[in-house]
Amino acid sequence: MIFGLGTDIIHVPRVESALARTDGLKQTLFTPREIAYCESRGKSAQHFAARFAAKEAFLKAMGTGWRDGYRFNEIEILNDELGKPEAVVHGEVKKYCDEKRIARVHVSLSHTQDLAKAVVILEVISP
């Protein structure tokens, strides 16, 4: 059963500019594995922006937004061996997902030179 649906779209140059001008922002928003992945790709700003959009979409799907102590780097967007994006949660976000019995997370990412978009669906275990 669907618990929540979230979507977000962001301007890639905005993310690129923010990461370039703010020391430590990358580590605040992203995990070491996300940083390594994005920096290994051409046009890394597009990959950072897509992951940022996915984190925003995830929080929207939770229905909480960015409050209650949830941190962006507690939502980790990785790719499986075939390149499909998946979310791994940590910390307070994991605790929330466990309490709400969220069993599956569906993530879709897309980006162009200027825009990055994400959709997240949270699925709960049926009682």
CA 107 to centroid of chain Cα atoms: 9
Give catalytic status of residue 47 as yes or no.
Answer: no
**What does residue 125 show for φ and ψ, rounded to 5 degrees?**
-75, 130
Which residue out of 47, 55, 111, 117 is catalytically annotated? 111
Which residue out of 43, 60, 84, 90 is catalytically annotated? 60
Q: Taking CA 94 as the corner, what is the angle to CA 122 and CA 85, rounded to the nearest 5 degrees?
A: 50
Give catalytic status of residue 43 as yes or no.
Answer: no
Nearest to 15 by CA among 44, 57, 58: 44
Catalytic residue list: 60, 111
